[in-house]
Copies of this chain bind each other. A is one copy, B any other.
């Protein structure tokens, strides 16, 4: 192939906006939200909530006061700009009004930061209490993915509630990529929440979780099936479980549908739950645990 012709032709083809792109609204003329800017904002938020842990340069105690002040300003500045870009893509939003409100929404978000910090500290405490391998709370902040994912979730949930769903989703997906834990920003999660290991955990958009709940890796809090409208389009109704206070769910368990797991229940590993569970229950997989089949035969 002749590169001169091919590359020119490919460029022309890629410049051409195809019908599906048009139909899906993927070619937008304005400036779109910047994933990189949002990532920088999350780095700043993590820094003001856990000062000292993630500094790139040496920051003395005297400098801390200025640093936090400046970072709060930067968080506000980035968010205001990104909200202004994102509201355009919010179907349910009154864009004109939201655009005007971007400034206000950014201030409201910043005002929530101390509460976000308070909640995250309960998560750190919960994690430290639930893993015998933990040596210190400092270790939890440095090396437990739940801290990273919950920082992102709690920020994203605040933004989701304030009416910036697109940015909220970008933020939780960042944490999903880093930790393998996928929490939808619409989920409601109480205090003292912990997840150990966590890879493969999925928490759906309408999930409600109480206080002092603990999950392990691979747990799915998912939908059992979808309600579709007359056009076959899935409808966004409550379809994920409710976990009451002090529930523990062991690894790879799946809890599906708008069911309620009563407080102080324990869901065993690998089980598949699709009905309500009363308080103080213990659900387990039974025979498969007790009676593994030992064979000497060939092939598995």
Contacts and interface: CB of A to CB of B under 8 A. Distances in A.
B121 A21 contact: yes
A281 B297 CA distance: 9
Nearest to A287: B293
A273 B250 contact: no
A165 B135 contact: yes
Given A55-B34, A136-B91, A271-B292, A202 B226 contact: no
B25 A52 contact: no
A80 B2 CA distance: 14
A72 B7 contact: yes
Interface in A38-65: 48-56, 58, 60-65
Nearest to A17: B51
Contacts of A15: 64-65, 68
30 contacts: A1-B111, A2-B107, A3-B103, A10-B113, A11-B72, A13-B114, A18-B117, A24-B137, A25-B138, A26-B124, A63-B70, A67-B70, A91-B135, A132-B227, A132-B239, A133-B236, A135-B166, A138-B166, A139-B166, A143-B172, A180-B180, A180-B200, A216-B222, A218-B252, A220-B251, A252-B254, A270-B270, A270-B272, A272-B288, A284-B300
Contact of A294 (B29, B145, B277): B277
A84 interface: no
A179 to B, nearest CB: 6
Contacts of A111: 1, 6, 9-10
A209 interface: no
A187 B271 CA distance: 27
A114 to B, nearest CB: 4
A230 interface: no
Contacts of A180: 180, 199-200
B169 A139 contact: yes
A255 to B, nearest CB: 10
B56 A34 contact: yes
Most buried by B among A132, A182, A186: A132
Nearest to A3: B107
A141 B275 CA distance: 34
Contacts of A10: 72, 110-111, 113-114
